[in-house]
Structure 1
Amino acid sequence: MTKTVAGHGMVLTARMIPRGSAQQIEIWLAGADGPKRLLTPPEPAICFVSQQETAALKRLCKEQGITASVTPLSLTTFTHEAVSVVKLQQDKLLYRLRRLCAEHAITLYEADIKTTERFFMERFITSGVTYRGQPGADGQTINNARLKPADFRTRLLTFSFDIECNEKGELFSIGIASPVLNNVLMIGDNSNSTPGALADEDAAQPFSITWCDNEKALLAAFMQLVQHHDPDILLGWNVKQFDLPVLADAAKRCGIKLSLGRQHAAVEIRVFDDNRAIVEVPGRAVIDGIEGLKSMTFQFDSFALDNVANHLLGKNKLIDEPDKLSAIKHLFHHDKRALAAYNYQDCVLVNDIADKVRLTDFLMLRSELTGLRLGRPGGSVASFINLYLPRLHRAGYISPNRPNDGGLASPGGYVMSSKPGLYRNVLVLDFKSLYPSIIRTFKIDPLGLVEGLKQPTHAIPGFKGALFSRDKHFLPDIITSLWQQRDEAKQQQDKPRSQAIKILMNSFYGVLGSGGCPFYDTRLASSITMRGHEIMQITADWITQAGYDVIYGDTDSTFVHIDQDIDADAIQRIGRQLEQDINQRWQHKTQKDYGVQCDLEIEFETHYERFFMPTIRGSEAGSKKRYAGLIRQGDSTEIVFKGLENVRSDWTTLAKDFQQALYEKIFSDTPVNDYVTQIITGIKSGQFDHQLIYTKQIRKPLREYTKTAPPHVKAARHADEQNRKYGKPLQYQKRTSIHYVMTTIGPQVPEYRSHPLDYDHYIDKQIRPIADSILPAIGKHFETLVNQQLGLF
């Protein structure tokens, strides 16, 4: 009798591998007793076809020599056509069949669902599993594995690593920082290092150095360390787009495989024309710090490691020079130990950032909620499909296909015209997760739309002809479950879990309105956004009827001016009373008008003691999504800027500081004339030169800027002309960030500035717009102050 073993684990990676003429899925788990490699029974590639086109599909397969099983099912499309399931032995046959069907106008459904993803979603597996199978000879492999979902989590070992190299990708060193190993692998020896600096025998140093003769020895040592310590996660900064592709190129150059996967599996890399790379390391999750922070919705002026570390940790890289590459090359040739310290510190910074934001916890929770693997970037459409598709199949339907034209745009969030001005006492009332609560209340759902249109007299009306079933739907229930989990996470002060659930819930509207989603339907997205418009407008009317002035509304927030001379406690009472009254009225209205329970909930969120809403430049009309307000917390105050220069990444430090100080003075009723004229004087005298640097992202290769050349592109081209002239590496040919200044002959980088700064530019383009927006609110004008100041020169 064949022996059977069972166990639990967390899914780390999954990929298809051939098995004769068939294929099976290789799944690596992190288990309580170490990593396990599961091999499934043969797993076919699957898609669907309308039964009306079954005969044509069979003829095509016969003509092309493709063996396919085509079996009628009781499932239907959203247009109620019966379908057959198409099974092929390998994915490559499905790819071929997709291409042939497109050429012969035969529609396949769900043909773009990867077999590995279908395997997990149809079993409702997200992260944790329980498995059974036959043990392999290596003690790590489980054959003919059968899996079920399970609530399981274990600790994962992370290697943070970073490489240093020259502009040609020739390696200098590889650093590793982890709980079990802190080491820098360095090509060369100790002969050129600073005497006594970080000596091998110095027990206080946080890392060791391993000297390697050449690139091949360096790569071999790195692979040996990874195999020996066997981490579950490889963590780095831009590791998928830079470090691993560079290592793979170096391995190819040395005639070896980059075997970083478990059981010495090679790294798999696909590089696209736009330099994007998809990287898979079998058995190990690859987490890119930049992708991870973006998934957590962090935003920075620049995602350069130095900048993010400074913002989150108050720390910086050990090399603080504009031309880091030249500094790194210099250290490699003249002080390898200093380079090792720099290399290792980068690994530590990535670990510290990940710990600070609890990145791995967030990604594990996201995986448990959605089935997205730990190292997967983005993935809101994939998350929705993972959660929704297996439920849809069990309800008797298959998914529609993505729209060929990308879909029609749906109305955006509600933004009312503002009443510009400088105010005292403005309250902000926010609907709690407005779009998810609309989905819950009005039962907005892809299946619900199909079923609602079948029974219009019993349905809940939406917009653009939408009708939603009252009892046949999935999305409202999925959101309700997530909502409850988020409330529990908040009570337990589990921020990563709360954040993961919030991001997931809020993504559902965007998914339904995205042409990249197979469930896209403008009736779905419009029934969310247009209902949001209606809710915001009715809410504003109710507040106006209560005797208060609504001065602005934006998506889910309503701004209310309390034009009364009362104290802060009275203001708070008004805010809480409005909250209570509006919630009661919505509960009554949804029940009366639609016969549904109301899940809408408005909250009194903020009291601005002072508030400023600017006009649109060159107009008397109020602007949108641009305002500033002063909040008091105990004895301290904070100014919140929204959409103004202070929060824009392409404005200089001086402009941001000027705006902060100017608003502080105006909000506290402090005279501003002297301050404004001091700033003008300081600019012209060179006092603020160090604060006049622009930072901008170059978002595509320089050669692709053909029609127009923005200032930062001109600066980049000038800088690389100088780099070429002096025999230095070109810094700005690909996507990167650049620091530049405006001179009297145009934009230049600081290190190659050849002319004086254009102070008039900074006054007119940086200071004037800020002052012009708010000074008229206190009866003053920037032009008058400038003319007074120019009289002094």
Structure 2
Amino acid sequence: MTSTSKDWQDGFIINTQVVHQKGQERVRLWITGQQGTISLDSPPQSAIAFIERENLLEAMTLSNDSHDIQFIDSHLHTFKNKPVAVLKANTQKQLRSFEVICRDAGIEIFEADIKPADRYIMERFVYGSVQYRSLPELKIRPGTYRPSLRYIVVDIECDENGQLYSIGCDDGKNGWVWMRDDAPETFKSNEFTYLNVASELHLLKAWVDFIRQYDPDVITGWNVKQFDCRVLTERASLCGISLNIGRDGQAMTVRKTTNEQYWVEVPGRAVVDGIESLKTMTFHFSSFTLNYVAEQLLGEQKLIHDDDQLGRIKHLFIHDKPTLARYNWMDCRLVARIIEKTNLINFLVLRSCLTGLPLSRPGGSVAAFINNYLPHVHRAGYVSPNRPHDGGLASPGGYVMTSSPGMYEHILVLDFKSLYPSIIRTFLIDPVGLVEGLKCPEDSIPGFKDAFFSRDKHFLPDIIDQLWQQRDEAKKDGDEARSRAIKIIMNSFYGVLGSGGCPFYDTRLASSITLRGHEIMQTTKAWIEEMGYTVIYGDTDSTFVWIKGCNDAIEVNNIGRQVASHINAKWKHHINAVYNTECFLEIEFETHFARFFMPTIRHSELGSKKRYAGMTGPYHGEKLIFKGLESVRSDWTQLAKEFQTTLYQKVFKQEPVEDYIKHTVSQVSEGLLDAKLIYQKRLRKPVDAYIKTRPPHVKAAIIANDEAKSAGKPIPYPNKSSVQYVISTNGPVPVGTNVPLDYTHYIDKQLKPIADSILPHLGLSFDAMTAAQLRLFE
């Protein structure tokens, strides 16, 4: 569908393509709006890059007719203040080919990696939402339209070779399953529509017809790019057909990237992976299997989740296809419910409207920064630097204070609100601002590592200011998805400036943020201690304050608010007096721990870092909170997590612990807690690549993979999979191996370290409590 409107229309960009016509490239935008989804082609777009003017003659000599490169003078400069000329080519391929020739000749080309579609959109400050008109030719400008997108969840079932059994779909309200079956049976159950098809070819064709008829904006699923779309495309190729599910009838394309991942494109539709998107939303799970995430978010599990899942699926395909169909559909419905629970699609729309990133793009912090920042750079008279060839120098990390270990009552936690974005706003930290500031240091704000930042020529502080205001509005409106999207974007800007993968990387930028953070935290600590309170720990943007000798919760909370107010006033005065600029630093009284424990580093008297536990006071819900301890680590057993939680809870509530410890040791020794003794750890590479050392999870994976190969089954633990194993009397083995467990290991390596971290502060000893008891089991 195409548009012929002379009037400005509102829409949202689903995705883009570059189309080739008569030796030129046009950007095709797929836009959805109240009029439906349309495709619009831009006027011909040149591929553009820049070259220092001093290298122009040599570059022109290297050029020839086959490259079709134009050289045009410009008013722009590099960050090193060298004037540049524009390189233009009809296609991106021509430009990149010429860039390689120049690079081999030692000539640097700038911005050659910016794709025409990205440049076309960003230079017009269009991010997701767009206003457009197509006559006499396409024009676009920023918009405010927010779409309501239709999505469909896709999931396949197949054998170990990828041969399809069934394809399931669900939209959160209705479900469909197509099953390979010679029987003509087709029915609609109370849960989903069940449709039989005669062969794999008919199965694929039926799915293509459904997608084109349903016409979703978003195709999603769990690992849908790396598995489902890949397998569907491979099976379609074997069947001699293309999966023409694009809105214009084009085929879905799947290509393998250099990092062994798969990239999926469907014209007019976004392909969104559930795992990638939740990670982009900063969700953290010890495992991203659908079964685990559904259990954590929904309190539900997959219909089949036993050890030999593939064997069960194959058995059901042969003997009980309706049950397999329900399993297939249930996986789709779980993903749909996770999408609704997390507001995932709305989050991705908002992220796109803030950054210009496509819905289907995971991560993308550097790309988001470039989209927002590069057009401002050009308007300031500069071109972007290139990414550092050596990856860049490491910049200092966040401030972490050595802690004062021990058991405490009444600890206040004061947090700086978005510390790094606040530092950028306050001290005007900015790539262009650095270039301009170095020209006039005496009129600029000093940073670190000889950096100076212009007071009036900068963009990043203003971009963050706009995002900050939008986040405050989102909070006021109760729009959690929008608030979360903005927070993630704001906080990513520091990481981008310190990343060698970003063309605007400069160690002076990142250091001027982190080292300023160190200074702020250290000064804040000194000011709090001048008030007569003790700071026992500090971490990046949090300060832990001991209110010694005060036992009234109301008074403690009042002190927390008073300290925050006093520190904020001090910072406003200090910034104005020293730097003559506005202060955006704001510390907040975040938490009151009625009881708090800061452990020592294991086998040391020194206080630990990023590890603590506490019980919040009555005004904060009396919750038990762990940071960095065993209960929140994915590579410790369920036994350890539950033991630590219960033990600390008893300690904080001043309840006796000896009977609980003895009872737990007894249950482990008698084999009553075997289900809680499972370790889980992820493989970082194929098991064969572990040569010098083989950790326990690798040894268990090797055993499991060898057994599967001997039985003619696919290996259960390929690269980057999570291995579940136990420690037996024969060492680490896969879960389900019929050998005795090493209960001494679990007592010594799981229970004892947890108990030993806190019991000495109570004058107690794990060994003394359990010595006589353990002798009974020797």
TM-score, normalized by length of structure 1?
0.96
Displacement of 1:750 after TM fit?
2.2
Question: Which residue does the alignment assign to 2:89?
Answer: 88
Q: Deviations over 1:683-735 (max 9, x none)?
A: 11111111101111123222222222111111111012222233332211332
d(CA) in 2 for partners of 1:75 and 1:148?
A: 24
Could you tell me how far apart the structure 2 residues matched to 1:662 and 1:275 are?
A: 44
- Displacement of 1:145 in angstroms is 2.1
1:166 corresponds to = 159
**Structure 1 stretch 346-355 or stretch 715-724: which is displaced more?**
715-724
Residues 635/734 of structure 1: CA separation in 2 closer, same or farther (3 Å cut): closer
| Counterpart Cα distance in 2 of 1:655 and 1:566 | 32
Q: 1:334 aligns with which of 305, 319, 332?
A: 319
Kept after mapping to 2: 8 A contact 1:158/1:235: yes
1:263 aligned counterpart, secondary structure: coil
- Say whether 1:786 aligns with 2:770: yes
Conserved? CA contact 1:190–1:337, under 8 Å: no
Secondary structure of the residue aligned to 1:612 is: strand
Tell me, yes or no, if the aligned pair for 2:51 and 2:84 is still in contact at 8 Å.
yes
Do the aligned partners of 1:465 and 1:523 also contact (CA within 8 Å) in 2?
A: yes
- What are the superposed Cα offsets for residues 412-460 of structure 1, whole Å, 9 maximum, x if unpaired? 0000110000000000000000000000000000011011010111010
Greater Cα shift, 125-134 or 412-421: 125-134
Equivalent-residue separation in structure 2 for 1:493 and 1:707 (angstroms)? 53
Following TM superposition, by how much is the alpha carbon of 1:180 offset from its aligned partner in structure 2, in angstroms?
7.7
Residues 109-143 of structure 1, C-alpha deviations (whole Å, 9 max, x = no match)? 01111111111100001011222225xxxxxxxx9
Code of the aligned partner of 1:104: A
> CA shift at 1:635, angstroms?
9.9
**What is the TM-score of this pair, normalised by structure 2?**
0.97
- AA aligned opposite 1:37: S
Identify which of 142, 150, 169 aligns with 2:143.
Answer: 150
- Does the alignment pair 1:213 with 2:198? yes
Shift of 1:60: 1.1
Question: Which residue in 2 is equivalent to 1:137?
Answer: none
- Tell me, in whole angstroms, the C-alpha distance in 1 between the residues paired with 2:99 and 2:661: 66
Structure 1 residues 526, 636: closer, same or farther in 2, change over 3 A? closer
User: What does residue 33 of structure 1 align with?
Assistant: 35
| Partner secondary structure for residue 74 of structure 2 | strand
Task: Count matched residues.
Answer: 774
Q: Which moved more, 1:484-493 or 1:633-642?
A: 633-642
Match of 1:415 in 2: 400
Q: How does 1:223-622 map to 2 (within 5 A)?
A: 223-272=208-257, 274-622=259-607
Letter matched to residue 760 of structure 1: T
CA distance in 2, matches of 1:217, 1:560: 68
Change (3 A) 1:636 1:599: closer
Unaligned residue ranges in structure 1 (runs of 5+): 135-142, 192-198
Q: Cα–Cα, structure 1 residues 418 and 93, in superposed 2: closer, same or farther, change >3 Å?
A: same
1:775 equivalent in alignment to 2:775: no
How far apart in 2 are the matches of 1:301 and 1:522?
33
Instruction: Give the structure 2 partner of residue 178 of structure 1.
Output: 171
Instruction: Find the aligned partners of 1:788 and 1:253 in 2 and give their Cα distance.
Output: 68
Distance in 1, matches of 2:202 and 2:183, equals: 16
Within 2, Cα distance between the matches of 1:373 and 1:639?
40
1:691 aligns with 2:676: yes
Q: CA contact under 8 A between 1:180 and 1:229: conserved in structure 2? A: no
Paired residue secondary structure (1:262): coil
Q: What SS does structure 1 have at the residue aligned with 2:307?
A: coil
Equivalent-residue separation in structure 2 for 1:773 and 1:741 (angstroms)? 24
- Alpha-carbon deviation of 1:667? 0.7
* Deviation at residue 178 of structure 1 after TM alignment: 1.7
Shift of 1:534: 0.4
- The match for 1:714 is 699
CA contact (8 A) 2:406 2:597 kept: yes
Separation in 2, partners of 1:292, 1:163: 20
Q: For 1:490-510, what per-residue CA distance to the aligned partner results, in whole angstroms no more than 9, with x for missing partners? A: 011100000000000000100
- Is contact 1:158–1:233 with CA below 8 Å preserved after alignment? yes
Please give the per-residue CA displacement for 1:732-753, whole angstroms capped at 9, x wherever unaligned: 13321121111011111122x1
SS at match of 2:590: strand
Mapped pair 1:677 → 2:662:
yes
Change in Cα spacing, 1:614 to 1:4, as seen in structure 2 (3 Å) is closer
Equivalents in 2 of 1:600, 1:335: separation in Å? Answer: 63
Q: Distance in 2 between matches of 1:61 and 1:492?
A: 57
Tell me how far apart the structure 2 counterparts of residues 294 and 391 of structure 1 sit (CA, whole Å).
29
Structure 1 distance, partners of 2:4, 2:595, is 74
Cα deviation for residue 339 of structure 1 reads: 0.7
8 A Cα contact 1:187 1:212, kept in partner: yes
Q: Is the 8 A contact 1:431 1:601 kept in 2?
A: yes
Distance 2:4 2:412 in 1: 69
CA RMSD of aligned residues (A): 1.6
CA deviation string 1:476-526 (max 9, x = no partner): 011111101101110111000000000000001000000000000000000
Deviation at 1:769, TM superposition (A): 1.1
Task: Judge which range, 393-402 or 179-188, deviates more.
Answer: 179-188
Q: Give the distance between the partners of 2:298 and 2:403, measured in 1 at CA.
A: 38
Moved more, 320-329 or 282-291: 320-329
Q: In the TM superposition, what whole-angstrom CA distance separates every residue of 1:387-426 from its partner, at most 9, and x where no partner exists? A: 0000110011111111000000110000011000000000
The one-letter code matched in structure 2 to 1:81 is K
- Bigger drift between 737-746 and 400-409 goes to 737-746
Measure the CA separation in 2 of the matches of 1:351 and 1:723: 33
* Contact preservation (8 Å) 1:176, 1:344: yes
In structure 2, the partner of 1:196 is none
SS, match of residue 415 in structure 1: coil
- 8 Å CA contact 1:703–1:733 kept in 2: the answer is no
Amino acid at match of 1:70: F
Q: Deviations over 1:148-178 (max 9, x none)?
A: 2211122211111111111111111110112
Distance in 1 between residues matched to 2:28 and 2:631, nearest whole Å: 50
Query: Aligned equivalents of 1:189 and 1:562: distance in 2?
Result: 75
In 2, Cα distance between equivalents of 1:736 and 1:271: 19
Q: Structure 2: which 5+ runs fail to align?
A: none
Separation of aligned partners in 2, 1:417 and 1:358: 39
Match of 1:194 in 2: none
Looking at structure 1, the residues matched to 642 and 194 of structure 2 have their Cα atoms a distance apart, in angstroms, of 44
In the other structure, the counterpart of 2:732 is 747
